[in-house]
Structure 1
């Protein structure tokens, strides 16, 4: 995206915590010039750290919003109303506002910004920290193809980007947004099981992590349904079959369905409570 005079457009990132910095570092690694970015950060110590690390100008939120064509809000859902109130007077039609806050709808954003401002809702996840994120994006009422393309270009440095109707964003939040937490929980449980079976913790960790990496690679590279891959490793009356029987007896599948429904419903309630 370029500005009206043909110069590179400026992108402001407001909220440079873990996810915000993941985006900034990804953009820098992808070759985005620091001069085309602004960071909004209030804490002096953190601002100095970011300037030193990335060579990007760090200003207050209002100045960041006023000086950019694309404004990326990477704040907690409960803080979104306050941040929008702070920067709304500096936002103008023609700018693009991108939100990475769980549960915050495009309608919520549009109702607190000047009429006609294009907004895009994004649901990221933490593997973006290692450039392996899964990010879903949904357009607001005033969003055009060029806005979606700009957001895709911004986020591509941190992982895979998928366009999604906004009605599915709460489900995406439950699956991919919160998903790493479930995976880490399963990994933690498998490591503990290994320790209980007599393995040193370091050995159990290495076995579990590499098994996870390899299994994920098989899913991604073969394109086979997980049922097919599971059946390939499940011999009749074998060790895997014995383990899976215990998981079914303990209702693990039903527990996952209930857990993801809870995450979905919580995502939906976040905007209502903002």
Structure 2
């Protein structure tokens, strides 16, 4: 098992929301300060404070004076093409590249950086509080050791699921990468429905928000699956059953989610390149 304290030569390019979350997770998990270099021209005040407090090396731009054993790319997909040109002096044939950029395929990186060990990941925003769900896939050059290192770095901000083929990353994007937005929208819909039933809007929102976060915590803490937990709270002929009759109808929630996730997967495929 690879420990954070055993990892060396990490260069993090981009310390925004996701990169900053990973950096915080690494520091909290025991990655040595001398093992990290952060490259970001304009880190947030929180990240500046973390860098100053921890003594982690910070650079505003890539340089051939910085050598990466592990290169973590946490920049926006739309600027990745420009960033890749700048990082080339920092890598060699054995550098492990980990990307957290949506839509950028292994082929995209191999074409621009060469035949390196590369891991493509798709995290989600709960990673910012250490509760992320992260899908990952590596090319053939990653190997068991590289996968263990990538897994340890990613697990610092959540749970990691390795998929069997790269195409599955688009489905992971649809389910968990974009998934937090679905949960947030569910809260909005519940609160709006409560308002229409006559509740004060703020009260309806508090009820909806607390219900969804509480249910999520129960799901996380329970050994039962979601279907079992749903059945446990559903009394025959009761209020929950009446609501579920609508949500589980032939034209209810499932076909809506089927269409929504298919649209998300198709968009992820379109963005690849």
TM-score by length of 2: 0.87
In structure 2, C-alpha distance between the alignment counterparts of 1:113 and 1:77, rounded to whole Å: 16
Give the stretch that moved more between structures: 67-76 or 78-87.
Answer: 78-87
Could you tell me which of 48, 51, 54 is aligned with 1:54?
51
1:45-194 pair list within 5 angstroms: 46=43, 50-55=47-52, 56-63=56-63, 66-115=66-115, 117-165=116-164, 166-194=166-194
Q: CA deviation at 1:67?
A: 2.5
In structure 2, C-alpha distance between the alignment counterparts of 1:177 and 1:64, rounded to whole Å: 34
Q: What does the per-residue CA deviation read over 1:213-240, in whole Å, with 9 as the maximum and x for residues that have no partner?
A: 3322333343333333222222333212
Q: What does the per-residue CA deviation read over 1:197-225, in whole Å, with 9 as the maximum and x for residues that have no partner?
A: 33344433332233223322333343333
SS of the residue corresponding to residue 246 of structure 2 reads helix
In structure 2, C-alpha distance between the alignment counterparts of 1:49 and 1:243, rounded to whole Å: 44
In structure 1, C-alpha distance between the alignment counterparts of 2:29 and 2:87, rounded to whole Å: 28
Q: 1:100 to 1:22 in 2, by over 3 A?
A: same
In structure 2, C-alpha distance between the alignment counterparts of 1:202 and 1:249, rounded to whole Å: 32
CA contact (8 A) 1:15 1:40 kept: yes
Aligned residues: 265
CA contact (8 A) 1:77 1:270 kept: no
In structure 2, C-alpha distance between the alignment counterparts of 1:229 and 1:36, rounded to whole Å: 44
Q: CA deviation at 1:250?
A: 5.3
- What are the ranges of 5 or more consecutive residues in structure 2 without an aligned counterpart? none
Q: What does the per-residue CA deviation read over 1:119-164, in whole Å, with 9 as the maximum and x for residues that have no partner?
A: 1111101101111111121111311111111111112221111211
Q: 1:58 to 1:202 in 2, by over 3 A?
A: same
CA contact (8 A) 1:191 1:208 kept: yes
1:253-272 pair list within 5 angstroms: 253-272=254-273
- What are the ranges of 5 or more consecutive residues in structure 1 without an aligned counterpart? none
Q: CA deviation at 1:49?
A: 6.1
CA contact (8 A) 1:12 1:71 kept: yes
SS of the residue corresponding to residue 113 of structure 2 reads coil
Runs of 4+ in 1 over 4 A off after TM superposition: none
SS of the residue corresponding to residue 112 of structure 1 reads helix
In structure 2, C-alpha distance between the alignment counterparts of 1:258 and 1:65, rounded to whole Å: 49
